[in-house]
Amino acid sequence: MAARGLCPGASRAPAAAPLLALCFCLCLCLSLPLPLSPPRPRTEPAAAGWGWRNLTCPACRLLFGALGLALQLEPNVARVGRVAVRVCQELRLARPEICQQAVQLFQQDVVSAWARSVLRPGEACGLLLGRGCGHWDIYADWNVTLPAAPKPPVRPPAPPPPGAPTARLLFLTDLHWDRHYVPGSEPACRDPLCCRGAARTAPGGAGYWGEYSKCDLPLHTIEALLAQLRGAAPPFDAVYWTGDIPAHDVWQQRREDQLLALRTVTRLLRKHLGALPVYPAVGNHEATPVNAFPPPYVRGNQSSAWLYDAMAQAWQDWLPPAALETLRVAGFYTLQVWAGLRLVSLNMNFCSQANFWLLINSTDPAGQLQWLVGVLEAAEQRGEKVHIIGHIPPAHCLRSWSWNYYRIVNRFEGTIAAQFFGHTHVDEFEMFYDEETLTRPVSVAFVAPSVTTYINLNPGYRVYELDGAYPGSSHAVLDHETFILNLTEANAPGAKPRWQRLYRAREAYGMPSAFPVDWDQLIRRFQDDESLFQRFWYLFHKGHPPREPCHEACKAALLCSLRTGRSIDPSLCHVLRPTLPFAQIQELWRQRQLC
């Protein structure tokens, strides 16, 4: 790709630094967990006024127009950083200390990525401020190559024969350990993350086990979760763990902090889960700066080697050498779980619009999707079934990545037995339909709720029941269960933490099975059966829904999101006949970002 600017010795114009600084601030704020739009009143009372929406679209386009010129000049990173702090403060993007720390953390990588990218103003502002401000998916036309061999005939899923063995899969996602969590501290602060610092003298401080606020979890809550899993009956057969280990204090995270979280939590899992195999996926919070996952062509100190090497070392007892090898290169891998079942762990940061390294080139980063096609093709030939795990669910991905992934799921519907994701922190799913008619359900991506409380949730985890390990098994999901720690109960004086089953999917929703067709039917039933939908809304928030109810627009947007396994596709919701335009639905989706 053509690289711009950053040429040593070029003359500097005073205007260049402020412009770059602003661009950089916008990148940074895309990564900070600040509300993208006015949040639910109960979550953000103290943070009103901060946020990158303080920048308007016309101003953004004007500034990026000038950026093209500014990038021809040599930016001094430290000088750009100083101005960026001022811009961040002037625009009230965050409070001054956070501006200072965040700029320090992001400046080198963001300036590098900007300087190597070829974005036009409309594209950049579309990326930063949303589609209303420009079309930004500049590489919309790329395509993976599917195998020449024709797709095998479709065989609808069928329940396993009576008495066939089942398998139990423990699913953990978004642990978000905050090592600065202090019971009794302020739960409603102005920062992106609270429940830290000195304990309050007045009552109303953060609970011992966690808090319904903008807070992550203390280690003792994660340990209590793992400890009570011992002796689970029936026992688990494997663990899928889809990332986001550190807390949301992204403005102050150093590489040592991220590695400490990785190693501490890995050790804790090994301590409590013993010999149970754990298969991880890389979350967007593992890196620092958050979301910064340079593709493998970025080498040296700016590469992700510091992270992937540490992961390969920490997880070497769980993963075979071939998996560790690709993990070290790009954070994804494949392995055989047991006879007849293959796992693919994707690095979904290569599909993420928040990964600013993709500004340089977002065409199949790290060749991951083409690699996936190869893995699936080989599995199809061997008669294996495949589970796919990843952090960010596919509909949250860059459009082109997402549409290619949808094509792959369609082509390999007979091989992909299940898909599992996390990241949104809530309990939901995304449907995949046949590409020709968009009506026949072919797959479902389960999106499990987080272990963390962030924001306003109970701690929780998921267990999947699978068609078990026997010759000819479908390895499909037969049912799932969700467990929570009710914080109101657990934090009461003298109480002991009691992890309890919140619900069992088939029982709660009255589904005959848990195949894609059942989830598709369920969405239609939600539309007509208000009390069933309200039950879903309650479970969606792990038993702690917001005070504001979800009706009309909220319900339409949520049902549409369940049908939408690929991003930016209004046609997937047509069958629901939504009463509001797709752009408005997307806006509502953006408002409920918690992760």
Residue 387: strand pairing partners: 343, 418
284 is an interface residue for Zn ion by CB under 5 A = yes
Please say which residue, 169 or 392, places its beta carbon nearer to Zn ion. 392
Cβ of residue 285: shortest distance to Zn ion, in angstroms?
6
Can you tell me which of 137, 178, 191, 244 binds Zn ion, judged by CB under 5 A?
Answer: 244
Please say which residue, 283 or 449, places its beta carbon nearer to Zn ion. 283
> Is residue 72 a contact partner of residue 5, using CB atoms and an 8 Å limit?
yes
Please say which residue, 18 or 283, places its beta carbon nearer to Zn ion. 283
Please say which residue, 426 or 476, places its beta carbon nearer to Zn ion. 426
> Is residue 215 a contact partner of residue 181, using CB atoms and an 8 Å limit?
yes
Beta-carbon contacts of 321 under 8 Å, excluding residues fewer than 6 positions away, are none
Binding mask 371-410 for Zn ion (x = CB under 5 A): ----------------------------------------
Residue 444: strand pairing partners: 431
SS3 sequence, 510-541?
Answer: CCCCCCHHHHHHHHHHHHHCHHHHHHHHHHHC
How far apart (Å, rounded) are the C-alpha atoms in residues 585 and 580?
7
Cβ of residue 177: shortest distance to Zn ion, in angstroms?
11
Residue 432 is inside which H or E element, if any? strand 428-433
462 is an interface residue for Zn ion by CB under 5 A = no
> Is residue 301 a contact partner of residue 363, using CB atoms and an 8 Å limit?
no
Please say which residue, 174 or 186, places its beta carbon nearer to Zn ion. 174
Which of the stretches 211-219, 338-346, 422-430, 483-491 binds Zn ion when contact is defined by CB under 5 A? 422-430
> Is residue 33 a contact partner of residue 250, using CB atoms and an 8 Å limit?
yes
286 is an interface residue for Zn ion by CB under 5 A = no
For the purposes of burial, counting CB atoms within 10 Å of the CB of 545, is it exposed (0-12), middle (13-18) or buried (19 or more)?
A: middle
**What single-letter DSSP state applies at residue 455?**
T
Cβ of residue 290: shortest distance to Zn ion, in angstroms?
9
Which of the stretches 23-31, 222-230, 266-274, 275-283 binds Zn ion when contact is defined by CB under 5 A? 275-283
**How many other CB atoms are found less than 10 A from the CB of residue 564?**
25
346 is an interface residue for Zn ion by CB under 5 A = no
- Say how many residues touch Zn ion, by CB under 5 A: 6
For the purposes of burial, counting CB atoms within 10 Å of the CB of 231, is it exposed (0-12), middle (13-18) or buried (19 or more)?
A: exposed
Binding mask 166-195 for Zn ion (x = CB under 5 A): --------x---------------------
355 is an interface residue for Zn ion by CB under 5 A = no
Beta-carbon contacts of 46 under 8 Å, excluding residues fewer than 6 positions away, are 188, 189, 190
Single-letter code of the amino acid located at 351:
C
Cβ of residue 252: shortest distance to Zn ion, in angstroms?
17
248 is an interface residue for Zn ion by CB under 5 A = no
**What single-letter DSSP state applies at residue 343?**
E
Cβ of residue 425: shortest distance to Zn ion, in angstroms?
6
Please say which residue, 244 or 380, places its beta carbon nearer to Zn ion. 244
518 is an interface residue for Zn ion by CB under 5 A = no
347 is an interface residue for Zn ion by CB under 5 A = no
Cβ of residue 227: shortest distance to Zn ion, in angstroms?
22
Closest CA to 237 of 425, 387, 430: 387
Cβ of residue 565: shortest distance to Zn ion, in angstroms?
18
Quickly list DSSP for 349-411.
Answer: GGG-TT-GGGGT--SSGGGHHHHHHHHHHHHHHHT-EEEEE-SS-GGGS-HHHHHHHHHHHHH
Please say which residue, 285 or 385, places its beta carbon nearer to Zn ion. 285
How far apart (Å, rounded) are the C-alpha atoms in residues 468 and 466?
5
Please say which residue, 522 or 595, places its beta carbon nearer to Zn ion. 595
Binding mask 55-84 for Zn ion (x = CB under 5 A): ------------------------------
595 is an interface residue for Zn ion by CB under 5 A = yes
Cβ of residue 513: shortest distance to Zn ion, in angstroms?
30
423 is an interface residue for Zn ion by CB under 5 A = yes
**What does the binding site for Zn ion look like in residue numbers (CB under 5 A)?**
174, 244, 283-284, 423, 595
